[in-house]
Amino acid sequence: MAFPVPSPSSTRSRATILRGCAVVLLLCPLLARADDAQASRLREVGRMAKFVPDVASSRLRTMAWQMAGAPAPLRTDFLYYYSTAERGIGDLTHALDLADQLISFGRRNNDNVALAKGLVARANALYVREDLAGSHATAFEAERVAGLTADVPTKVLATVAAGQSFEEQGDYPAALAKFHAAVDLARQVTTDAAPLAAALHALVLLYLNMGDLDKAAEAQQESLAVARRMASPGHVAAALGDEYALAVEQKAFERGRRALFEELGLERGIGARQMAVTTLVNLSDCYLKEGRFRDAQTYAAQALDAAIDARSNNDVATARVNLGQALLGQGHLSEGKRQFEAGLATYEKQGDKPELLGVLREYGRALEHAGDYKGAVDAYNRERRISSEIFAEQRQKAVLELQQKYEAEKKQRRIDALRQENRAAKAELDNRRLQQRVWWLLAAASALASVIVGMLYRKVRRANAELEEKNVQLKRQGALDPLTLLYNRRHFQDVMARAGDERRTGGDADAGALFLLDVDHFKAINDSLGHAAGDTVLTTVAQRLRVALRDTDLIVRWGGEEFLAFVPAVAPGELEEVALRIMRGVSVQPIEYRHGVVPVSVSVGYAPLPLAFGTTPLTWEQVVNLADMALYLAKSHGRNCAYGIRGFSAAAAVAASLDAIERNLEQAWRAGWVDLAAVRGDASDADMPLPLPAQA
């Protein structure tokens, strides 16, 4: 299974490549020469922003105080590079904040170059956050603003971003026109080859998506030549990745492998860990395509270790699937199926059904080839079930879209009617004023006109108030999960972002704790009773959580059968009591469904917020990750229980990293690095402490 190789079933992967690789080739525009040493240093770090974002982020952070008073061109490129690096390491909140700073800087100084680059940076961050509509609108605005400037590299940058947006929308003719325009613009730049490399890179990938291999090969030949002339390992590695994608489509596997081995050497040389993971995955997949299962196993195992080190869950899942396929190809049924199922579990948890469908199809073929016909039939049945679910979801989505369109048109008609009424009221008021001037001496008529004017004014105000109330209702509905009517994940992220802003500006952000809970055996309920029963369980759990928690607590449908509760203003010593109240509140009695009952319980992981590791305060995302690891402990130690993080020992920050603690929370507890609490959910054993694993 090749993540970056274009194929009919990998549209989302291709889009990720476009956003992840093409735009980064423009990270090195000409800098102002106000300070040559400073500009040279910034340009050097800028080249690293995508390929080795962790190193670039660290260096850019140390340059922040110097850049605060730097000339406008340096300040512009600093904020653009910094946003790109933060996006590369996954800190989307900071990446968006830096992009917004650049947008404000451009508008405040009437600097369209800065404004266009800020808009492109924002569009890229929104894309990674999967806000495609916002990303595309911002990219098109960036192209419009860049067109007002005389800066050709900036025009190329924005034109490529607009072309990518058209491609993601499926409008290939418009995308092709944009990329050709970007290539023509980039040929005008004689002092920097990066704009041309970026435009050619995007053009190659579009031709691959369109299936036009001859034109893709022609563009790729020039793209690779331009990258080699630049003598930039990162740019050459990106071009070699395109060379592999083209070679696979042409069934030239040996040529593709040569490109991958050269690419891997360059990536390791510059420390581009994430790029190296993708290359190792592609190597294992290339060998799988030729049936060389032992070689495929070797590189899939290397890809798995590298993906775990880079903390890339998607690549971990892909590497496990490739490893499982290689083992099955060699007849190792038990271990091969174990690796395949582990990869499938990640896709199932993410809810990526199209990707899961393709993996199950490969699983069935591999099992059939290995002689496990029963397993192949089971995989086929799972594939059919998911295919049916996707069809049902698409049909439901179409119905909902029609309903939403009808409601939108209905609301628009009401708004138009109100506006017409306002215009009529204004005309009536104008007429009454004219009558007042004409009949000034007629007191009775004047009084009557005043009464009518007052009535019309109140009517207009009432109509405007109704319209405002409807707008508030629409905004509130967008923050709710449609099944449980709890807040959704996007609303929680907005709340946390506002809380972060308050902390940065000296405001009083609420302190408390995050509780992450998962319905026990939910998959078994769905499989045995059907999805309608699962929906009943989820809505009932949501109702019971409202009863168990306070009105001031924020309850969120986190995804699937997972819920998240943010409990502000709670003392550290009361967290176990809150966890117990949640578990007992959910399992207070079985849920009635049709003519029977469904027992239900939850497992809980929790942690205080704010929380510090040594002297470093953790972000709310890191606290959620720790709560998720505590939830995993609860699930693996019998379910219907809660594990919570009270804090870290004084030696933890010296003896270990936060990454190591997140990877194995139980081992970290044994080592004395983390203080854990455990609570049993069974009412009958409420007074019995839940034992933690023996500490070494």
Strands 554-559 and 487-488: parallel
Q: Average the pLDDT over 330-350 and give the result.
A: 85
- List Cα–Cα distances, 335 to 119, 285, 466, 477, 599, in angstroms: 48, 18, 64, 47, 34
Radius of gyration of the chain (CA): 29
Catalytic residue positions?
561
Q: Average the pLDDT over 413-426 and give the result.
A: 77
Q: What is the pLDDT of residue 33?
A: 42
pLDDT confidence band for 663 (50 / 70 / 90): confident
Task: Give the angle 607-613-616 at the CA atoms, nearest 5°.
Answer: 120
Terminal Cα distance for the chain, rounded = 41
Beta bridge partner(s), residue 557: 488, 563
pLDDT tens digits, one per residue of 562-576: 999 999 988 888 999
**Long-range contact list for 667-674, CB < 8 A, 24+ apart?**
669/693, 669/695, 670/694, 670/695, 670/696, 671/696, 673/648, 673/649, 674/645, 674/647, 674/648, 674/649
Report the candidate in 20, 384, 381 with the shortest Cα–Cα distance to residue 202: 20
The domain segmentation of the chain, as residue ranges, is 11-193+271-390, 394-477, 487-685
- List Cα–Cα distances, 304 to 53, 311, 324, 474, in angstroms: 21, 10, 11, 45
Q: Please state which of the ranges 337-341, 381-385, 543-547 shows the lowest mean pLDDT.
A: 381-385
Question: Is residue 658's pLDDT more than 50?
Answer: yes
| Predicted model pTM | 0.53
Between 270 and 421, the more confident residue is 270
Q: What is the pLDDT of residue 276?
A: 86
Whether domain 487-685 has CATH 3.30.70.270: the reply is yes
Q: Helices 194-210 and 233-249 sit at what angle, rounded to 10 degrees?
A: 20
pLDDT confidence band for 426 (50 / 70 / 90): confident
Residue 212 structure tokens: 């036009």
Omega prior to 610 cis, within 30 of 0: yes
Q: Do domains 11-193+271-390 and 487-685 have the same CATH topology?
A: no
Question: Is residue 519's pLDDT more than 80?
Answer: yes
Q: What is the pLDDT of residue 506?
A: 43
Between 370 and 460, the more confident residue is 370
Q: How far apart are CA 6 and CA 248, in angstroms?
A: 9
Q: Is 228 in contact with 67 (CB distance < 8 Å)?
A: no
DSSP assignment of 328-374, as one string? Answer: HHTT-HHHHHHHHHHHHHHHHHHT-HHHHHHHHHHHHHHHHHHT-HH
Class of domain 11-193+271-390: mainly alpha
Strands 641-648 and 674-680: antiparallel
Q: How far apart are CA 515 and CA 512, in angstroms?
A: 10
Q: What is the pLDDT of residue 461?
A: 66
Q: How far apart are CA 368 and CA 251, in angstroms?
A: 24
3-state secondary structure of 408: helix
pLDDT tens digits, one per residue of 70-109: 888 888 998 999 899 899 888 999 999 999 999 999 999 9
pLDDT tens digits, one per residue of 195-226: 998 999 999 999 998 888 999 999 999 899 99
pLDDT tens digits, one per residue of 232-270: 888 898 989 998 999 888 888 899 889 899 888 988 888
On average, the pLDDT of the chain sits at 82
